[in-house]
Structures are given as structure tokens and as C-alpha cells.
Homo-oligomer: A and B are copies of this chain.
Amino acid sequence: MATKSPQDDFEGEDAPATPGLDVGRLGDLLGFHLRMAHVAIYRDFAETMEELALTQKQLAVMELVAGNPGASQIDLANTLGTDRATMMALVNRLAARDFIERRPSEADRRRQELHLTKAGHAMLARARELIDKHEQRFIDLFSRDELDALLTALKRIYKGN
């Protein structure tokens, strides 16, 4: 629906992003800049994936299930840093769209093993193509070294290492 939205004078590279106000003390906060960057990428992701109607998190779940067939919801939640209840809702949505299916584990009958359906694999394949372009828009802002340093720094933040 963003195709014809009024604020779509956001084609090229002239997005103002922080016009007008003095950010003052906020400008010294790592968390502030991290959030602003996150918002920017989140937006672009949402626009890019609009036709597929997949959010960042939904895609992350699908990639994880694709790469770890049979993983449980708890595994996903731990990996992505959310809780069971949130992951439950996420998986429900993807299951309702027939991208993921739950199969009861034989070894541990509390568990549901998660797998991508055929439709899920197809969707993931389409998503990956779109994501490549999305990523490229941001990656192009950096040299190889800068990007490596950025990724290292981000990992340090969430892994604490």
C-alpha cells in the first residue's frame, strides 16, 4: 500500500531523516543512533517486502527453520532473543499462512518440530531475492572494511563478548 502513499517522495537518496530539531543529548546516546538506524532499515525492509507481507522477524523465523529443520519454538525464541509467547504468535501467523508446519516430536512429546512447507520454501526463495536488493542499498554505503567493523561492533553489543 506504500505504492501510492503521499510520503513516497522517498525514491532516491534524498530522505531527510533528521530534519529540524536539535537532538541535543540524544546525539550522545549509542542507543539512539542504533534505534534510528534500525528504524531506517526496518522501513526499507517493510517496503521491499510489501508484496510478500513478511516482516523482519517472520523472515528470521523462516530462515532459522529452513536452516535448522525440526527446531522447536523455544530454540527459535532463544536464538532471536524473544520469549515463548511472542514466538508462539509469530509461528501461528506463519503456520496460518501455510509457510511453516508443526510436527509432534517422537523423542520428546512436548516438542513440536518446525518445518517449512513447500509454500514456505517457495516464499523464502522469493523473499531472498528481494532481500538481496534491500541489503545492497545499505551495504553500498560502506567499504568492505567499514562493513566488517560495523558487523563486529554490532555482534559485540548483543553477544556481550
Spell out A's residues near B (CB within 8 Å).
Answer: 13-26, 28-43, 45, 56, 60, 63-64, 66-68, 71, 75-76, 78-82, 128, 131, 134-135, 138-139, 141-142, 146-147, 149-151, 153-160
Contact = CB atoms under 8 A, between A and B. Distances in A.
Identical subunits present: 2
11 contacts: A18-B79, A20-B75, A21-B64, A21-B75, A22-B68, A24-B68, A25-B67, A30-B41, A35-B42, A36-B80, A142-B153
Given A26-B63, A36-B158, A141-B156, 18 more contacts: A19-B78, A20-B71, A21-B64, A21-B71, A21-B75, A25-B128, A31-B42, A31-B45, A31-B135, A32-B56, A32-B60, A34-B34, A34-B41, A35-B41, A35-B60, A40-B157, A138-B157, A142-B153
